[in-house]
């Protein structure tokens, strides 16, 4: 059996397992809904926001990788594109939330009086209209850029390559604007009396961090196989590890700045966001969550450690797990002032995740994992003079004279 046939069989099995996990998760979620329908909406919101965050992070990395021509950008571009192409699934999953806004968003409940312009912005019809616009922008960017890239595989065209880069630059602006307002709508409006101008940037940094960690885990499946073995060189892996550290530091910085600004100002419509999430048992939950973040942070600071592929993949897995925990901490305190973890709280994370991952694998394996780009030949013309030792560390090789 050829290598290609083996990979196809393995990925088919992975998709089947993912779909089985999805069905199992959805069934458990429906069983939970039969006992507590209100909590079902909360679990649904938690799962939806996590996978939306991951898909948007992949879109952000796709846009960024299209702008730069480097080994690391070519290594992640197709995987980021596969993640971005899952956005139609998230659009479909948003429909139950749009038709049940009264059950989820406190501002949509009967008898709630809004002021300071929120009575215009936070209306159910306008909210749904904005959501449609967000998804239209994101899906158009994801599919246009990836389809143009796929077209270059069979018919290389330098003009098309330039269009990809130009659209990506414009797309970064559109993405930041739309993702910022989407964060206000879907996440911050759960505390409709609160406001933070930095919240949208923080949400984008969370998505980018989650997506970078996820793509590193996916690279671990491919970086010893053709064609990625030629692209994901030791130096490129080190660069990707550095990008993970940068994403982590940006998220830490924005989280700290938001906390300091809100808390030091002591303004009710700002500080209430943190009060709700640090009251009772949630304070201990938040403390443990923060302490666990020191583990990947310190590991990424160790010189050379992020160039060890196995260690980097383990760090990425821990960071991705912590993103799930952070999203739980973001959503659940709104509905449960006391920390009450139900046995089926992760059911839809598994359910939606199974469908999402099966779709991701399908998109990732239907085309070559490295794009056909003229700039790639230029990048490969400068060989990486480093190699892997059996332990996974990096050793420099002398240049040939």
The DSSP-derived string for 174-205 is: HHHHHHHHHHHHHTGGGGTT---TTHHHHHHH
User: For residue 49, what pLDDT is reported?
Assistant: 97
The secondary structure element, H or E, covering residue 260 is: helix 234-265
Has residue 43 been placed in a domain? yes
User: For residue 42, what pLDDT is reported?
Assistant: 93
Instruction: Check whether 3 has a pLDDT greater than 60.
Output: no
User: Cα–Cα distance between 244 and 248 in angstroms, integer?
Assistant: 6
Q: Which 3-state string (H, E, C) describes 82-150?
A: HHHCCHHHHHHHHHHHHCCHHHHCHHHCCCCCCCCCHHHHCCHHHHHHHHHHHHHHHHHHHHHHHHHHH
Domain hosting residue 364, numbered range: 11-373
User: Cα–Cα distance between 20 and 358 in angstroms, integer?
Assistant: 10
Has residue 297 been placed in a domain? yes
Of residues 3 and 315, more confidence is placed in 315
What tokens does 394 get?
């990096």
Q: Which residues contact 160 (CB under 8 A, 6 or more apart)?
A: 148, 151, 152
Angle (CA) 251 205 170, round 5°: 145
User: Cα–Cα distance between 389 and 395 in angstroms, integer?
Assistant: 7
User: Cα–Cα distance between 15 and 180 in angstroms, integer?
Assistant: 33
User: Cα–Cα distance between 38 and 25 in angstroms, integer?
Assistant: 18
Instruction: Check whether 4 has a pLDDT greater than 70.
Output: no
**Structural domains counted in the chain:** 1
The whole-angstrom distance between residue 88's C-alpha and the CA centroid of its chain comes to 15
Q: Which residues contact 351 (CB under 8 A, 6 or more apart)?
A: 21, 22, 23, 24, 25, 26, 28, 29, 47
- At 174-223, the pLDDT tens digits run 999 999 999 999 999 898 888 888 899 999 999 999 999 999 999 988 77
Evaluate whether 94 touches 129 at the Cβ level (below 8 Å): no
| Residue entry with tokens 């098309």 | 160
User: Cα–Cα distance between 169 and 141 in angstroms, integer?
Assistant: 11
State which of 208-217, 280-289, 303-312 shows the largest mean pLDDT: 208-217
User: Cα–Cα distance between 232 and 238 in angstroms, integer?
Assistant: 9
The whole-angstrom distance between residue 374's C-alpha and the CA centroid of its chain comes to 29
Has residue 71 been placed in a domain? yes
Has residue 382 been placed in a domain? no
Evaluate whether 85 touches 149 at the Cβ level (below 8 Å): no
The counts of H helices and E strands in the chain are 16, 2
User: Angle formed by the axes of helices 268-277 and 234-265, to 10°?
Assistant: 120
Has residue 400 been placed in a domain? no
Of residues 308 and 132, more confidence is placed in 132
Has residue 316 been placed in a domain? yes
What tokens does 181 get?
């307002």
User: Angle formed by the axes of helices 37-67 and 71-84, to 10°?
Assistant: 150
- At 32-58, the pLDDT tens digits run 999 888 899 999 999 999 999 999 999
Q: What residues are paired with 72 via a beta bridge?
A: none
- Integer-rounded Cα Rg, in Å, for the chain is 22
The mean pLDDT of 255-272, rounded to a whole number, is 76
Q: Residue 383: which pLDDT band, with cuts at 50, 70 and 90?
A: low
Has residue 93 been placed in a domain? yes
User: For residue 271, what pLDDT is reported?
Assistant: 76
Has residue 381 been placed in a domain? no
Instruction: Check whether 115 has a pLDDT greater than 70.
Output: yes
């Amino acid at each position: 059996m050829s290598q290609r046939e083996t990979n196809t069989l393995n990925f088919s099995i992975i998709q089947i397992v993912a779909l089985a996990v999805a069905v199992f998760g959805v069934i458990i979620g429906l069983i939970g809904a039969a006992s507590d329908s209100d909590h079902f909406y909360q679990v649904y919101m938690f799962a939806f926001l996590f996978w939306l965050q991951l898909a948007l992070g992949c879109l952000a990395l796709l846009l960024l990788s299209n702008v730069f021509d480097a080994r690391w950008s070519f290594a992640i571009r197709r995987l980021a594109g596969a993640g971005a192409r899952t956005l139609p699934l998230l659009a479909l999953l948003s429909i139950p939330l749009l038709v049940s806004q009264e059950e989820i968003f406190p501002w949509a409940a009967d008898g709630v009086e809004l002021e300071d312009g929120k009575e215009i912005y936070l209306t159910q019809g306008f909210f749904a209209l904005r959501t449609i616009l967000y998804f239209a922008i994101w899906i158009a960017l994801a599919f246009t850029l990836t389809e143009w890239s796929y077209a270059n595989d069979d018919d290389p065209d330098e003009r098309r390559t330039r269009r990809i880069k130009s659209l990506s630059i414009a797309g970064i602006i559109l993405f930041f604007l739309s993702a910022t307002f989407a964060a206000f709508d879907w996440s911050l409006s759960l505390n409709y009396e609160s406001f933070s101008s930095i919240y949208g940037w923080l949400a984008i940094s969370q998505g980018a961090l989650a997506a970078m960690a996820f793509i590193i885990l996916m690279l671990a499946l491919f970086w010893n196989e053709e064609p990625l073995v030629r692209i994901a060189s030791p130096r490129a892996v080190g660069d990707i590890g550095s990008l993970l550290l940068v994403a982590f530091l940006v998220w830490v910085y924005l989280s700290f700045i938001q906390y300091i600004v809100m808390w030091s100002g002591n303004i009710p419509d700002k500080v209430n966001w943190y009060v709700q999430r640090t009251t009772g048992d949630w304070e201990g939950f938040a403390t443990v969550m923060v302490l666990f973040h020191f583990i990947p942070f310190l590991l990424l600071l160790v010189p050379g450690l992020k160039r060890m592929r196995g260690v980097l993949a383990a760090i990425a897995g821990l960071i991705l797990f912590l993103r799930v925990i952070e999203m739980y901490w973001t959503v659940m305190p709104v509905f449960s002032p006391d920390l009450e973890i139900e046995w089926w709280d992760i059911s839809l994370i598994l359910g939606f995740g199974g469908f999402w991952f099966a779709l991701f694998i399908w998109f990732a394996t239907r085309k070559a994992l490295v794009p056909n780009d003229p700039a790639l030949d230029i990048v490969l013309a400068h060989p990486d003079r480093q190699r892997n030792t059996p332990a996974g560390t990096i050793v420099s090789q002398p240049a040939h004279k």
